[in-house]
Amino acid sequence: MSLRINDVAPDFSAETTQGTIRFHDWIGDGWAILFSHPKDFTPVCTTELGYMAGIEDKFASRNCKIIGLSIDPVENHARWAKDIEETQGHLPRYPMIGDTDLAVAKLYNMLPAEESGSSEGRTAATNATVRSVFVIGPDKRIKLMMTYPMTTGRNFDEILRALDSMQLTAKYKVATPVNWKQGEDVIIAGSVSDEEARTLFPQGWEAPKPYLRIVRYP
């Protein structure tokens, strides 16, 4: 199944380091980030999960939960977490899914093209889940998807930045420009007429072009 932005995120049950979850129930009425990593006890993944552990509170302050996934068993996740804390300075306290039967990985297209479809004989170099990220909104729909190759660690600050944008634009009829950061000026959404904009933004706006209407951060 090919997933697209605004599709309902597939629901599933899975074993995690914090017990069995039903994904939609676990999300609740907030936001969630589901991200996969290729393999436990590998270098790039260790840095990624440690960094996420260090900024988990920033996601929590935005009413957003985070959950990791690989095809390793939950027991491996728990042992590896000690290495992550020792080398990265942060212990992952968010749940990590042990997707040993590849059910969730297949559901979310987290496997590379050459994937054999079997969990047998998997290594960090072959048949591993790619570095996928899914941001899911309170309506359980997919708001963002990102996929990185195995050799490239992700920029989770960018995912936090994107979350700020998505939460802002879900509340106001605005869009965010290139490299936007929280607190910076925004753009009036193209779907908003000038007449409606005068009501929504009585302070006015700058418009270097009719279609480019810049307003202060709401």
Q: Does the predicted TM-score (pTM) go above 0.85? A: yes
Please check whether residue 65 lies inside any domain of the structure: yes
**Are 123 and 195 in a shared domain?**
no
Virtual CA dihedral for 16, 141, 130, 150, nearest 10 degrees? -110
Over residues 194-217, the pLDDT tens digits come to 999 999 999 999 999 999 999 998
CA distance 42 to 28: 32
Residues facing residue 174 across a β-bridge: 188
Residue 183 sits in which domain range? Answer: 172-215
The string of pLDDT tens digits covering residues 24-69 is: 999 999 999 999 999 999 999 999 999 999 999 999 999 999 999 9
Chain CA centroid to CA 15, Å = 20
Structural domain count of the chain: 2
- Beta-bridge mates of residue 97: 16, 69
CA angle 88, 91, 95 (to 5 degrees): 130
Q: Which residues contact 126 (CB under 8 A, 6 or more apart)?
A: none
Instruction: Show which residues are catalytic.
Output: 45
Pair (122, 188) in one structural domain: no
Q: What is the pLDDT of residues 96-129, one digit of tens each?
A: 999 999 999 999 999 887 665 555 555 545 556 7
CATH number of the domain encompassing residue 190: 3.30.1020.10
